[in-house]
Copies of this chain bind each other. A is one copy, B any other.
């Protein structure tokens, strides 16, 4: 008898690559005691633990509600939670679908609009985990430079004019990961117009949008008003990754397709977690904004401390730009003679670890490898200063 399984790439999981660089947890294991500037992780101090405990206690003491929270619920997600989100997004609640966090929103988007083997335009540098989610449908990418005001829409327009065809374009518009820049309002409009003209979808990955602590909001209505945008959002950076709760703002014509897909992937997001988060955000209309205000203050302070420490302890070593929000700093090595890989090895040996810029490169052309990505959100002021001191020793 011969085996009937044909272990080729037609089995989806067989084509998936093993993570290297970004997301390689052995980096952490290899550096015990190091100060980690690794992940876009919210500060423990910014998470409303006390309020969560109170909402949770109220739930479990209300027997009928507790029992309901342990049962099945609809794929679309909780109605009152979707209504609350929809009001903030300025869309019809039907267009909101609750997800298991931002990564899940990305994978649902990929499976919904990217045909197998299609080309997808992506940020360069890019959030590496998006490329992994994209592997569910394709590995063909068209890297688009991320410049000072974000995703280079003109570059993409030129490629499309030259005959390139894409199923979707992926970008992080607010406090881009890793480059920390924000897509300007005119370029948001230009990107959406390009998508509408060419019939591709824009996968708008927006986990940091609520964490603006400086500068001007460039607006999200342009995404939510278009039937060519899939706006991927999450509670991860505000209420915590551990909830695994997020949402999609979908064009009306994609809602049923996403629900059908969701029915087949895992049914629905947990009723328990949706119940608690719904109670938190809808119980007091000001509550979520209070959480955000406190978080923004905290991240503004931490970003400032990190930049100041770099300027004080390593003057001239980096070209830096003050973040306007989010959780990342993306300094560029000013001296081309510095070998970033060797620098990382010395930094790790001195007890500070970060993400190396090369991990984010979507193409060999860009100079991502000349950058370092520092995640400052979950580090205390003391840790941030000590991290820079250790980095300075590595220079």
Contacts and interface: CB of A to CB of B under 8 A. Distances in A.
A258 B12 CA distance: 10
A291 interface: no
A179 to B, nearest CB: 22
What copy number does this chain have within its complex? 2
Nearest to A200: B4
A90 interface: no
Contacts of A243: 70, 270-272
Given A257-B14, A258-B13, A242 B267 contact: no
A103 interface: yes
Interface residues of A, number: 90
Interface stretch (A53-61, A299-307, A320-328): A53-61
Interface in A203-242: 239-242
A201 B115 contact: no
A63 B39 contact: no
B41 A71 contact: yes
Interface in A164-207: 165-167, 197-201
Contacts of A167: 4-5
A30 interface: no
Interface in A27-71: 39, 41, 44, 47, 49, 52-53, 56-57, 60-61, 63, 66-71
A113 interface: yes
A270 B258 contact: no
A386 to B, nearest CB: 21
A264 interface: yes
Contacts of A258: 13
A267 B244 contact: yes
Contacts of A67: 44, 47, 49
A72 interface: yes
Interface in A315-366: none
B39 A72 contact: yes
| Residue among A25, A166, A263 with most chain B CB within 10 A | A263
Interface string A267-303: 1111111010000000000000000000000000000
A313 interface: no
Contact of A72 (B41, B100, B275): B41
A16 interface: yes
Interface stretch (A128-136, A143-151, A368-376, A387-395): A128-136
Given A5-B199, A13-B260, 5 more contacts: A57-B57, A241-B271, A242-B271, A243-B271, A244-B270
Interface of A: 1-6, 8, 10-14, 16-19, 23, 25, 39, 41, 44, 47, 49, 52-53, 56-57, 60-61, 63, 66-74, 99-101, 103-104, 107, 111-117, 129, 132-133, 135-137, 165-167, 197-201, 239-245, 256-258, 260-261, 263-273, 275
Shortest beta-carbon contacts, A-B, top 6:
A3-B199, A53-B60, A70-B240, A242-B271, A104-B266, A10-B115
